[in-house]
Structures are given as C-alpha cells and as structure tokens.
C-alpha cells in the first residue's frame, strides 16, 4: 500500500493522521504482540527438541513488545494530544530521538528474522508454528509502514507546524 496516496497521506490534517496511526497501527501492534508471544511460547514448549525451534523467541518478543509499547505510550500521551490541540512544539532533536527508536525497532525485527532464519519453517511445522511465522511477517510489514508514516509524513509535518507556531 502506498500510504502517501491514501486519504491518510501527505494532505490529511495532522490530528486525523495521528488518530489513524493509533487506531490502525498502535492498537494492532499491542494485540499482535500479545498473540505472537502466546504462539511463540507454545512453539518453544512443544518443539523444544526440534533443531529449528526458535528458542528464546518468546523472551525476545516480550522485550520488543515492551520497547514498542513504551514508544507508543510516549507518542499517545505527549505528542499526539499536542498535535490534536494544534499545540505541538517539536524540535529536530525530538524527531531524531523518535527516529532512533524506530531504527532500534527495525534492528529488533532483524533479530527476529535471524532467530527464525527469515521465517523459514521446517517441513514438520505445526499449524501454530506456521501461524507464528505468518504473524511475524505481517508484524514486519506493519512496523515498516508505521515507521514510514511517522518518519516521513507525521514527524516532518509536526515540525513544520511547530515552526509556524513559534513567534519570530
């Protein structure tokens, strides 16, 4: 999907875009991590003797979920309410910090790919294992879309808005 060409792209009002991100990505990420951690725990317990079993995946997902939730919490309690009020004052440093967090999330996603050998299933994988890897692949796509929408559209427009709010 080319987000810039949708209603929620470059021309959408910032409050609409911020709320869209919450309802489309943040809520989904919370649910997805919960589901994936449950699936990972099952796979690790059931297939512990299988050489292809991604041991430690549940713990890695749990740590990743914690970092993502902390990031989203910061946006939802501080940045997005200010955007909704039209009072956001965002500095380049804040933008850089948020982008650095996104880069860390992408590295965590890379770690999941390494642990799962690029979501490669063994021939004897059960349905739960298949669902886990399918869910991880979907997580990766949504995370990239989410990061792109914030890094390339929301944050730069928030900086532009905050610049126009400053008294010269």
Report pLDDT digits (tens) over 18-63: 999 999 999 999 999 999 999 999 999 999 999 999 999 999 999 9
Residue 4's pLDDT band (boundaries 50, 70, 90)? very low
Domain ranges of the chain: 12-81+89-165
Task: Compute the mean pLDDT over every residue in the chain, rounded to the nearest whole number.
Answer: 88
The arithmetic mean of pLDDT across residues 140-159, rounded, is: 91
Q: What is the pLDDT of residues 109-142, one digit of tens each?
A: 999 999 999 999 999 999 999 999 999 999 999 9
> Is 157 within 8 Å of 80 (Cβ atoms)?
no
> By CB neighbour count within 10 A (0-12 exposed, 13-18 middle, 19+ buried), where does 20 fall?
middle
Give residue for tokens 């299988």.
50
Question: What pLDDT is recorded for position 1?
Answer: 47
């Amino acid at each position: 999907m080319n987000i810039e060409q949708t209603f929620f792209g470059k021309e959408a009002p910032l409050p609409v875009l911020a709320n869209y991100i919450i309802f489309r990505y943040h809520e989904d990420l919370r649910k997805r991590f919960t589901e994936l951690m449950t699936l990972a725990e099952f796979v690790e317990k059931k297939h512990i003797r299988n050489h292809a079993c991604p041991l430690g995946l549940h713990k890695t997902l749990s740590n990743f979920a914690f970092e993502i939730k902390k990031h989203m919490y910061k946006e939802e309690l501080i940045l997005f309410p200010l955007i909704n009020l039209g009072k956001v004052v965002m500095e380049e440093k804040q933008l850089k910090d948020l982008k650095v967090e996104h880069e860390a999330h992408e590295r965590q996603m890379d770690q999941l790919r390494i642990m799962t050998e690029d979501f490669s299933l063994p021939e004897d994988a059960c349905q739960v294992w298949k669902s886990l890897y399918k869910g991880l692949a979907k997580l990766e796509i949504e995370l990239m879309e989410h990061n792109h929408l914030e890094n390339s559209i929301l944050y730069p427009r928030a900086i532009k808005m905050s610049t126009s709010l400053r008294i010269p």
